[in-house]
Amino acid sequence: MLECGMLEQDRRALRRRSATLCKELVVDALLIQSLQADDILTESMAESIMAEQTSQKRSWRLLLLLPKRGPRAFSSFLSALRETEQQHLCDLLTQSPEKDGTPVERIRPEEEPEGIAGRQVMQTTEKKRERFSDSPLPLPTQEGIAAKRARTHESMEYRLDADSPINSPVLPCTPDFYLSHCQQSYRMNSSPRGFALVISNVTFDPCAAPDLDPRKGGEVDDEVLRKVFTELDYLVTVHRDLTAQGMRTCIETFCRRPDHRTVDSCVVCLLSHGVEGAIYGTDGQLLQLDWVFESFDNAHCPLLQNKPKMFFIQACRGEEMDCGVEQIDGPARTCSPGCEQRDAGREGQGDANSRHRGDTGRPRIKLPQRSDMICGFASLKGTAAMRNTKRGSWYIQELNTTLRLHARDMHLADIMVQVNGKIKEREGYAPGTAHHRCKEMSEFTSSLCKDLYLFPKYQPQY
C-alpha cells in the first residue's frame, strides 16, 4: 500500500510548474512503464492515461494522479523524466522557487491545447528496472541528449531508441458493432479465430552468416506478437532461430494443419534480416517471400480458401535509409499515406465471384489462385527497417498498440494505414548528420475481398 499523499514541498513543485508540464511533458509508454515499475501507477491508471487522445490530456491526467500516489511519487517521476530524456523538466521541478520567483501555474482541462500528437500504448516484456529509491534524485542515464535520441547504423537493420510498450488489454468488440458490420465482413466467429505462426530469427550462425549481426530486441518482438494474438483468440506457435530450410519446413507443416478447416483465418509473422522479396535464415540463406505467399494460396492451402490470411514481415527490404525531404506544400501531417500495392499479395488477384460452367452444366465457383491475403511490411521497398535493441522494432510496437486499441472497431486495412502514420511520425537523427529528420514508412499489400474485422472477445450467441 502507498502511504497517503505526496510530500507538501513536492506537491507545490508540481503545482508551480503544472502549465509548463502540460505543454512540454511527453507522456509516452516508457515514462508510464517506469512509473508502473516503481508501483506508482497501477495498470488501470496507466490505461486511463494512455487512452487520452492528445499529449496534453495525458499530461494533465498524470499530474492529477501523482500527488495522490504517496511520498515516493515525486522522486520516481523525476527518475522517469531522466530515463525518457526530459532532463530539462527534471531540472525545472528541482529548481528552488526562490531563484526564479516563478508564480504558481494553474491549468484547467478546458485550456488544454490541441493538435500535438502523442505516442501510443504498446506491449512489452522488458523487465522491471531496479531503482535507488532512497536517493533524493535519481542517477543520470547514459544518454545525454535531451528530447532526441541518437541513431547508429548496423548491418541490415537500424537499431534505435524508441518508445517502450506497456501492458494494455485488447479492447473488446461490442455486440452492436458486430451486428452492424458482420454482413459485409469476413466470417470471424470461430474460437479460436485461427492459428498464428511466428518465426523470429534473432541469432545467426557466425560461420555461415558472418555479415548478419544478432537482432538484439528481436526476442521482444516475438513475445509481443505472441501475447497480442493470443488475446485476439489465436493459437500462437513461436519458432526461434531457424535456417532457411527450417523456415520452409515449418511453414509447410503449418499450411497442412487439418484443423485450418475449423477456423476462420490465419496469421503468419516473419521476423529476420532481409532483402527485397526475401528473408534470411540463420544460416545466411534466403527464403523467398513469394514462395511463402504461394504456400497459402487457394491451390496449395485449400482449407483456407475464402478465409483471410494475414502476413506481417519485420525485415529490411534494402540498405537505404529514408531521411525525408522538407515539406513545402500540403497539411502538416498526412493521416492516410498512400501505399504501394505491387507485392505478392496482389499477384493473381481476380474476380472471386466469377463463375464458369463445368461439364455437368452446373455453375462452379472459380477462385483466383491468390486471394484473401493482406501483408504488412515494416519498411518500403529498398529501405531498412527500424529496431530498438531493448524494446523491439518500431513496426511491431505500433502494430501491437493499434491492434490492442482499435481491433474492436477498425478493419485491418485501416489499422495498417494507422500503423504507417505512427511510424511516419517518429523522429530522430540520421546517421552522420546533425539536423535531418528521418521519416520511416511501412506499407501493406492486399487482395482482400471484404472488410476484415477481428471482432476481439466477441462470440455471437446462437
Catalytic residues: 273, 316
Residue 323 makes CB contacts below 8 A (sequence gap 6+) with 430, 433, 436, 437, 438, 439
Contact 314, 396 (CB under 8 A): yes
Cα distance between the two ends of the chain: 45
Query: Would you call 60 helix, strand, or coil by DSSP?
Result: helix
- Beta strand 158-160 with 194-200: parallel, antiparallel or unpaired? unpaired
- Beta strand 278-280 with 286-288: parallel, antiparallel or unpaired? antiparallel
Chain centroid, CA 243 distance in Å? 26
Compute the distance between CA of residue 347 and CA of residue 370 in angstroms, rounded to an integer. Answer: 7
Compute the distance between CA of residue 158 and CA of residue 429 in angstroms, rounded to an integer. Answer: 12
Query: Would you call 368 helix, strand, or coil by DSSP?
Result: coil
Residue 87 makes CB contacts below 8 A (sequence gap 6+) with 81, 140, 146
Chain centroid, CA 299 distance in Å? 33
Contact 135, 420 (CB under 8 A): no
Name the amino acid, one letter, at 423. I
User: What nine digits make up the cell of 383?
Assistant: 529501405
> 454: closest CA among 260, 128, 233?
233
Q: Measured between alpha carbons, how far is residue 199 from residues 196, 271, 316 in Å?
A: 10, 6, 15
CA dihedral 198, 203, 207, 211 (to 10 degrees): 90
Tell the residue number behind the cell numbers 506481417, with chain if given: 312
User: What nine digits make up the cell of 109?
Assistant: 482541462
Compute the distance between CA of residue 71 and CA of residue 6 in angstroms, rounded to an integer. Answer: 4
